[in-house]
Structure 1
Amino acid sequence: MKENYIQQVQLPSGVVHVYAGPELFKALDYQVFQMANNNLQIPNQVYMSYTPDVHVGVGTCIGTTAVWNTHDGYVSPSIVGSDIGCGMKVHMTNLHKADLKDVKLRRKLVKTIEKYLPVEDHVRGHFSDIRLEHIVTKGLHGLSKKYIPDGYTPRKATSLTHVESSKFTLDENALNRFPDNVWHRSHRQLGTLGNGNHFAEIQSIEIAEENREVAEAWGLFDGQVVIMIHSGSRAWGGSVSQYCSNDMMKVMRMNGLGTADPKLLFAPLDHPTAQTYVNLMYSALNYAVVNRHLIAYAIREAGKDVFGSKFEMTTLYDLMHNYAWEEKHEGESYFVHRKGATRSLPAGHSSNPQPYLNTGHPALIPGSMGTASYIMVGAPGGKANFHSICHGAGRIRSRSATKRLITLNEFASSMRVGTDEEIVVNQRSLESILDESPQAYKDVDQIIESVVGAGLAEVVAKCKPMAAVKGAK
């Protein structure tokens, strides 16, 4: 069966491995392969692949994994993306979906979340007492006990342990290049979602029978309400991309580097400019993991207001899908880029966080408003793809095309508006988020089928949306 989900496409500049079922593969735009050909022209590349949710981005497609040996590798801001550290976080609650059966209660919860979680860009986050320099240099370890109370309670210490990385170490001198306005704006945005496809979603789960043992080991149960969060490094990550772009272009000109795409930026990993970018990128990864943590903190406070002091939210996992870093594979050191791709390690892999060593860690795959999301676990076959899987459903049409082609009635129907099963959203009008409607995205079930069919990962739980909080434009 695997051969139906794995294609090796020979291009003039090399081979791109595409993990997608026949229908998804057939629908891929020629620009996807044009971009792959440009990316393959970066020297010394060891491997490149696409996940089934692949779609065109700036310089590089979203859904790309690109790998170099560490000793002669390259780093590419284009194969990291501008929203550095963007990723997913899931918290388990002690609620059952029956507790949120009343649509009025779901609306009350969403409204209360908005009280703690700013959704408009001009509104400051509620964390002015946090020092930004501690966050960008120490990650979660830069927060005070007030914001990580479970981190000091060994039996409940999931905030610091159930994450892909709680701290990225960097040379702090690189931070000196940022002017005060970047620090100010980024500080204001701590603990905020941002707009576009970022969200906080209340979901109920159905455990996959074949992985029930894994699900129960993680603390999941049928009907459980979970909170899924999607956000990144906000203005801090955007500034890293902006401030490094010109320097990277100068390095490329001086070294005769380039492709047909002027937006595809890259430099040798050992070049001082590349090292500055890597250090700043790591600071953005620190910001992103803390940002998601603070969003969850705000939702926890809202949950206590609505459900009382017995309401609980425990970290299942936090992981990224826009980043580059060093990894060990088969004893060799590689510099792995993932842009819109998620790491998914199997049971027994030594790079799993300690709590997930025996099971493999949760891989968190969002769908779109109105469709299911998934919690997966890596399979041994993922080794062939450097343990990368999809990061979501992947856009099938642009924002402008979605607004032009999809009606409000179609959007409302997919959100089951007016029924007891309505997926409650915080926006006063669906029109303001029409470009994020389910119709803008590929069929997430086909995406998951491709990942499973290719032997990269397995489904542990299906997450059905009950309510969503989106950032305002």
Structure 2
Amino acid sequence: MITIQTNNSKNSYYRQVKLPAGDLHVYAGNELFDAMGAKVFEMANNNLQIPNIRYMSYTPDVHVGVGTCIGTTALWETDDAYVSPSIVGSDIGCGMRVHLTNLTADDLREVKLRRKLVKAIERMLPVEEQARGHFSDFRLEQVVKKGLHGLPNKYVPDAYTPRKATSLTHVESSRFYLDDSYLERIPEQVWHRAHRQLGTLGKGNHFAEIQAIEIDEGNREVAEQWGLTDGQVIIMIHSGSRAWGGAVNQYCGSEVVKTMRRSGFGTADPKLAFAPLHSEAGQAYVNLMYSALNYAVVNRHLIAYSIREACKEVLGSKFEMSTLYDLMHNYAWEEQHEGTSLFVHRKGATRALPPGHPDNPVPFLSTGHPALIPGSMGSASYLMVGRPEGASNHYSICHGAGRVRSRNATKQLVTVEEFSESMRIGQEDEIVVNHRSLESILDESPQAYKNIDQIIESVVGAQLASVVAKCRPLATIKGV
């Protein structure tokens, strides 16, 4: 058992926790902090034993993961950095995407219409784990090398309309550059499987959701600059790099472990893998990780493309859907902080830059980019924007609600009736879901997750970011 010491500050949403291996910075309100189990601090202590680590923090949605907790930010100075597949996560590039539509909540007030939309989306968007995507007329090699720039023009409909274009400009990155030679290390069967999975949702906590927004008065000007209006319908998507990222994680993870054994590295957790950034294993991981980031952003883009086609089928050709933003919450890359080059890992943590920060994409330079924070099924999601004070945590905030209990525990403790009540089944404001039986997705019920409003309160209270809009769910599409 690890004994921890906590230095409370004037900000009740921040604590500096002193562990045997170093300091951990925790951003969470009192109730969320008190509910953190000993395991999350044991895992932090192991992570802090990685050589040369400069900073590590937890966001309020933190929960136990493999090797490293989800909700972690960790960084090194680039010159003597280490890279850890465990502090990126197995679903490399997993992240969020939001599209704006020309619909309002009133347009979708009828439950029958929402059900019709969900059925149409399910036809266009494969949701089964082994489902084949509908996209086969381009090469996967171009996607993993060039990201969105590797797609044929027909899949990027606004590529040549600069005044309306959002597909390539309203994203955290449309292309991650890598050394292509590392791609030769990926087995042929993975290429085939990953190509089939492009444009598919995946299971677990991945989803596509139709939502209606309510603008926060304190950030109405920012919301209007982003193109948001009260009651507007948006599409939120959560997915990652599917089989490609899984293969990269498996191959590189084993190579990193071999490096650790040769060098005598290790901690009490055998599942915590890390290697010097500039080692052969480290460079192989980083370059192949970037290929998975390219895959992930294209996967979400193609999911949105399928949803757009389904909505046009039901609502007609006048339906419009443009990209608000796409960003990741499982990755590692180089950033500049106060003139120093840092290699930053985020696992289940979202970057939230304030207005004027030079790393903002050009369309968001004056406002700060949208930080997309999903809730659990049946609860609200949020659109946020970073604050200058977020520099204290290297501009990292939460990535969602964060699990409060395991999938098995949820199935044992939560009833279908409780889940049904959360989804307002049978009511006029029912949150339509694509599954015929709620029992099949009981482990994704709201009761499996922390209270998203408490999470957001912690982020706002810590002055890391502020709310631009609250997003109320209207219909949800889940993978199986």
Fold-level match, TM-score > 0.5? Answer: yes
- The 3-state SS of whatever aligns with 1:146 is helix
Match of 1:65 in 2: 73
Contact 1:2 1:453 in 2 (8 A): no
Q: CA offsets, 1:203-245, max 9 Å, x none?
A: 0000000000000000000000000000000000000011112
Matching residue's letter, 1:77 = P
> What's the CA shift for 1:2?
5.8
Match of 1:115 in 2: 123
> What's the CA shift for 1:149?
1.3
Match of 2:363 in 1: 355
- The 3-state SS of whatever aligns with 1:3 is coil
Matching residue's letter, 2:390 = G
Matching residue's letter, 2:354 = P
Match of 1:175 in 2: 183
Q: 2:242 aligns with which of 234, 239, 262?
A: 234
> What's the CA shift for 1:121?
2.0
Matching residue's letter, 1:207 = I
Q: Write the distance in 1 (CA, Å) between the matches of 2:385 and 2:257.
A: 39
Q: CA offsets, 1:339-370, max 9 Å, x none?
A: 00000000000000000000000000000111
Q: Which segment drifts farther, 113-122 or 273-282?
A: 113-122
Q: CA offsets, 1:171-208, max 9 Å, x none?
A: 01101011111000000000000000000000000000
Q: 1:438 aligns with which of 433, 446, 452?
A: 446
Contact 2:74 2:345 in 1 (8 A): yes
- The 3-state SS of whatever aligns with 2:234 is strand
Q: Write the distance in 1 (CA, Å) between the matches of 2:142 and 2:165.
A: 20
Q: Write the distance in 2 (CA, Å) between the matches of 1:322 and 1:246.
A: 19
Contact 2:102 2:319 in 1 (8 A): yes
Q: Write the distance in 1 (CA, Å) between the matches of 2:56 and 2:41.
A: 12
Match of 2:3 in 1: none
Match of 1:225 in 2: 233
Match of 2:430 in 1: 422
Q: CA offsets, 1:392-447, max 9 Å, x none?
A: 00000000000000000000000000011000000110000000000000000000
When the two structures are aligned, how many residues end up with a matched partner?
472
Q: How does 1:225-304 map to 2 (within 5 A)?
A: 225-304=233-312
Contact 2:240 2:299 in 1 (8 A): yes
Q: How does 1:398-409 map to 2 (within 5 A)?
A: 398-409=406-417
Q: Write the distance in 2 (CA, Å) between the matches of 1:299 and 1:423.
A: 18
Match of 1:91 in 2: 99
> What's the CA shift for 1:123?
2.1
Contact 2:131 2:200 in 1 (8 A): no
- The 3-state SS of whatever aligns with 1:151 is coil
Q: Write the distance in 2 (CA, Å) between the matches of 1:106 and 1:403.
A: 27
Q: How does 1:144-155 map to 2 (within 5 A)?
A: 144-155=152-163
Q: Write the distance in 2 (CA, Å) between the matches of 1:292 and 1:253.
A: 37
Matched, 1:143 2:151: yes
> What's the CA shift for 1:122?
2.4
Contact 1:54 1:63 in 2 (8 A): yes
Matching residue's letter, 2:281 = T
Identity of aligned residues (%): 74
- The 3-state SS of whatever aligns with 1:159 is coil
Match of 1:317 in 2: 325
Contact 1:200 1:229 in 2 (8 A): yes
Matching residue's letter, 1:302 = A
Match of 1:3 in 2: 11
Q: Which segment drifts farther, 19-28 or 117-126?
A: 117-126
Q: CA offsets, 1:146-184, max 9 Å, x none?
A: 000101110111000000000000001101011111000
Q: Write the distance in 1 (CA, Å) between the matches of 2:10 and 2:78.
A: 30
Contact 2:98 2:235 in 1 (8 A): yes
Match of 2:386 in 1: 378
Q: Write the distance in 1 (CA, Å) between the matches of 2:45 and 2:412.
A: 31
Q: Write the distance in 1 (CA, Å) between the matches of 2:98 and 2:213.
A: 12
Matched, 1:206 2:214: yes
Q: Write the distance in 2 (CA, Å) between the matches of 1:381 and 1:442.
A: 25
Matching residue's letter, 1:137 = K
Match of 1:31 in 2: 39
Q: Write the distance in 2 (CA, Å) between the matches of 1:268 and 1:301.
A: 45
Q: 1:335 aligns with which of 332, 343, 368?
A: 343
- The 3-state SS of whatever aligns with 1:324 is strand
Change (3 A) 1:320 1:2: farther
Q: Which segment drifts farther, 8-17 or 114-123?
A: 114-123
Contact 2:16 2:24 in 1 (8 A): yes
Q: Write the distance in 1 (CA, Å) between the matches of 2:376 and 2:241.
A: 21
Matching residue's letter, 1:47 = Y
Match of 1:19 in 2: 27
Question: Which runs of 5 or more residues in structure 1 are unaligned?
Answer: none
Q: Write the distance in 2 (CA, Å) between the matches of 1:366 and 1:122.
A: 25
- The 3-state SS of whatever aligns with 1:463 is strand
Match of 2:398 in 1: 390
- The 3-state SS of whatever aligns with 1:236 is helix
Matching residue's letter, 1:346 = P
> What's the CA shift for 1:52?
0.1
Q: Write the distance in 1 (CA, Å) between the matches of 2:81 and 2:123.
A: 46
- Superposition misfits of 4+ residues, deviation over 2 angstroms: none
- The 3-state SS of whatever aligns with 2:133 is coil
